[in-house]
Structure 1
Amino acid sequence: MNRATTLLAITALLTSLTTQAQQKCLPDSLIDYLDVDYVKVPAGNKGAYTRVRHYTSPEGGTWDLYYPSGQQRSVVTYANFRKARIQGLVQDYYPSGLTKLRYVADDGLIDGYLLTYYPNGTLKRKDLYDHGRLIKGQYLGPDGQLIEPHVPLKQDPAFPGGNEALIAAINQRVVYPPDAGRDAAEGRVLVHFIVTARGDVTQVRVPQPGNALLDAAAVAAVRQLPAFEPGRVDGERVPIDMTVPITFKASATLKTLRRLGL
């Protein structure tokens, strides 16, 4: 074996060892089960969708969702699961296996053409985006004729009465935690939740925890909200993520008492 061949063999060996080491560092895949509104259900639940998180790097990979039949429902590519940062292909499928929706995301934003299709495979939508900004859109009827005005891809969930009513509903349900008064705790809590395809509020959480008492009070308030008008994607009701800010302020009297050490 000459020197060049030896170097190639060593390089191949090092590459193989590096790849094996990287693979050993990757977390195991995560599997869970969802109902038709994408709410988690126990394993073995009849008619449940199966969702599999595949790691292709220490932080990212794909969420693959499967119909109860085993046919793939969707694939979403993430650069970082923890930060929910989508980077790469997003594709939905009909139960038949035909593509329903397809686009590529760049840092969470649609970039390039977003295409959707009718169940028979004919084109339904052809929207062009530049890093999340719609440049031009075409929405076609089942007969292939252009529909005007253009129908937006996504419609967010709507609270009865609008945003002002949502703020009022949260304020009515927020209770300042008595124990937080010991330190006259204050702060702004961002609460993340999902509005299901039925309009119900579920999976309420605080992505960036701060004061535990304020976080718990904010989560409790959001969990009590009545149903929303569900959001839609391409005209179909779907679960959609939402985030609301809740601000806590200690009363002036409480602040004064705490400054006096009372």
Structure 2
Amino acid sequence: MFKLKLSESPMKNFYLSLIFSGISISAFAQDTIYMDKDYQELDTKENAEFFKIITPNAEDADFLNTTYFMDGTKKAEQSYDLKEEKKVYQGLHKHYYESGELFYQLPFKNGKKHGHLLAYWENGTKRRHDVFKKDELKEGKVWNEEGEELDYFAYHIPASFPGGQEKLQAFLKENINMPQEQERGTVVKVILKFTINPEGDLSEIQIVEGAPHRYNAESVRVLANMPKWNPSIRFGEQVATRYSLPIIFRK
């Protein structure tokens, strides 16, 4: 076991403390988290599409999350603070093509988009320029790969149930079979998370907050029998996304 001698100077102790602190931080920063194509964390490297390293004490925030393709090419840099165990994005976030070229950058302030979103085609041509203030879009322009301006469209359109929230609630009300044992005047909630793929199909249904088995099974059954959703669209392309949905049993 390594021990400091009492005769060693305070300054030497200080330097040793710095060295050990640096080793501790470096070890933490090298923790590698593997993810699948939908950015869901995996227990092993097998079937991973990406990996990320979380570094404490980023320039603009408490943490820097750097995501890489499996060949080590950087995919994204996202800084954030942790407030009550919730991520609050801060600073300039950058995303890259697999070729290593900058895809887009977007600044955040206290968890809100705030500033200029600049996106580029892989050949370096500007793809879009949006201006946000506290999450509110102020103005924006979009161009094709040849540099010709297009009709404006939002860079991100969230996934949605066909017809919107009212249609979703109507579907749930019509299709949920209420367990007979539930007492009148009571409410039971099940929260599920699932993937909506680029074609709008639902998969990878998980129970985040469960209830007695009958409620969990009924919630999963209803989701499995839903029609296709409108998939999430980012930068004009349909992409997979994870979605959380509460199912309320009210009698």
| TM surpasses 0.5 | yes
Q: Distance in 2 between matches of 1:25 and 1:74?
A: 19
Gaps of 5+ in 1: 1-5, 251-262
The one-character-per-residue Cα deviations of 1:39-66 (angstroms, maximum 9, x if unpaired) are 7899655xxx622232324995425141
How many residues align? The count is 237
Matches within 5 A, 1:1-150: 8-22=11-25, 28-34=31-37, 45=47, 50-57=49-56, 61-62=64-65, 64-66=67-69, 71-80=73-82, 83=86, 85-148=88-151, 150=152
Q: Which residue identity lines up with residue 109 of structure 2 in the other structure?
A: D
2:166 corresponds to = 164
2:96·2:104 contact (CA, 8 Å) conserved in 1?
yes
Is the 8 Å Cα contact of residues 33 and 43 (structure 1) preserved in structure 2? no
Corresponding position of 1:155: 157
- Larger strand share, 1 or 2: 2
Report if aligned partners of 1:92, 1:101 keep a CA contact under 8 Å in 2: yes
Letter matched to residue 55 of structure 2: T
Q: Does the C-alpha gap of structure 1 residues 50 and 84 become closer, same or farther in structure 2, counting only changes over 3 Å?
A: farther
Identity percentage over the alignment?
22
Structure whose residues are more often helix by fraction: 1
**In the alignment, is the contact (CA less than 8 A) between 2:231 and 2:239 conserved in 1?**
yes
Encode CA deviations 1:52-111: one digit per residue, 9 max, x unaligned.
2323249954251416x6544444444459645444443332232211122133343222
Q: Return closer, same or farther for 1:245/1:123 CA change in 2, 3 Å cut-off.
A: same
2:195 aligned partner = 194
Deviation string 1:148-203 (CA, Å, 9 cap, x unpaired) is 4x321111223333333222222334333456x37975144443333122212234
Q: CA 1:222/1:86 → structure 2, altered by over 3 Å: closer, same or farther?
A: farther
- Name the Cα RMSD after superposition: 3.8
Which moved further from structure 2: 78-87 or 94-103? 78-87
SS of equivalent residue, structure 2 residue 36: strand
1:199 counterpart letter in structure 2: G
Give TM-score scaled by structure 2 length: 0.73
- 5+ unaligned residues in a row in structure 2: which ranges? 1-8
